[in-house]
């Protein structure tokens, strides 16, 4: 089952030398293992959206979807798969 986090939860992210997330802190916290990455660019109602999404496994047990808002440089948890 998929649970959309609305509104997305802000998190702090630790990146490896290549720019991939390796740990998160905040409402969700722990080590993460990246599974997939993709980028979304669009203009929603004349407000540009530029995000880099990451599907990760949190603490070896919970599949999550994170995104990095490349405009504001903020990170969020957007979705949890139970």
Q: Tell me: the pLDDT tens digits for 27-63?
A: 999 999 999 999 999 876 777 889 999 999 999 999 9
Pairing relationship of beta strands 74-81 and 62-69 according to DSSP bridges: antiparallel
pLDDT in the model for residue 82: 83
pLDDT in the model for residue 44: 67
pLDDT in the model for residue 47: 76
Distance (Å, whole) CA 77 – CA 48: 20
pLDDT in the model for residue 42: 86
What is the tens place of the pLDDT at every residue in 56-81? 999 999 999 999 999 999 999 999 99
């Amino acid at each position: 089952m998929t649970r959309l986090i609305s509104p997305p939860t802000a998190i702090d992210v630790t990146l490896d030398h290549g720019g991939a997330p390796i740990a998160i802190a905040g409402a969700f916290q722990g080590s993460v293992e990246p599974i997939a990455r993709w980028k979304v660019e669009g203009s929603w109602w004349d407000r540009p959206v530029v995000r880099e999404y990451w599907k990760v496994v949190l603490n070896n047990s919970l599949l999550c979807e994170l995104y990095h808002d490349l405009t504001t440089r903020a990170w969020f948890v957007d979705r949890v798969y139970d």
